[in-house]
Amino acid sequence: MAGDWIKMRIDLQTHPKVFRMVSALQADRLRIIGGLHVAWSIFDTHSDDGVLHGYSADAMDAVVGWPGFTQAMIDVEWASVQEDGSLVMPRFDEHNGASAKRRANDNERKRNDRKTGRVRNVSASDADSLRTREEKRREEKRRKSKIKSMVLAHPQNLQSSTLCLPSLQTSPTRPGLTGASTARKSASR
């Protein structure tokens, strides 16, 4: 699948453990990196917790296509063997699995945002202006609902279970005020 990937560091080609494996296996460092890619891909594909049940060092060597490769990984502590013979990837959850990939994607996105200057400077004073459209819409609905409930709750608007909206007629209780201004004044109290 296009979305399947594993995390490999950009400085892997110069990592001291790679050079220790180069010396142990008398091989080119790029071939070592290719073998690591295969081994780490197998761990990522077939393990949820870093343990490859049923995979021995010989089985991994057969898949990688390189006798002694897994022992070299064990010697530099990029792999270990359980009592039952299953291979283990130390610190698996730091580099593999969904949460590690999510962290890696988040870090990459943040790094790109910093490069392009799109970093959001969010402070308490900016919080109101940085709301999403949905938050603004919710607040607008809440405000309209509050105004509607204030109008409905006003005693002048309740006449035998029928809604009477304020009119522009003069208020009998307060001469000189229209019904709309009376409703506004009582709503503001």
Which tens digit of pLDDT belongs to each residue from 177-187?
555 555 555 55
**Residues 70 and 79: beta-carbon distance below 8 Å:** yes
How confident is the model over 141-146, as a mean pLDDT?
A: 73
> Cα 148 to chain center, whole Å?
39
Question: What is the arithmetic mean of pLDDT over 127-142?
Answer: 64
Give the pLDDT confidence of 10-44 residue by residue, as tens digits.
899 999 999 999 999 999 999 999 999 999 989 88
- The mean predicted confidence, pLDDT, of the chain is 76
Per-residue burial over 143-173, b = 16 or more CB atoms within 10 Å of its CB, e = otherwise: eeeeeeeebeeeebbeeeeeeeebeeeebee
Where helices occur in the chain by DSSP H, the ranges are 16-25, 29-46, 57-64, 69-75, 92-95, 97-116, 133-153, 179-188
What's the confidence (pLDDT) of residue 2? Answer: 43
* Angstrom distance (rounded) from CA 182 to CA 69: 88
Angle at 68 between CA 66 and CA 74, to 5 degrees: 120
Reported as a single tens digit per residue, the pLDDT across 90-110 is 887 776 655 555 655 666 777
What CATH number belongs to 12-95?
A: 1.10.10
Numbered ranges of CATH 1.10.10 in the chain? 12-95
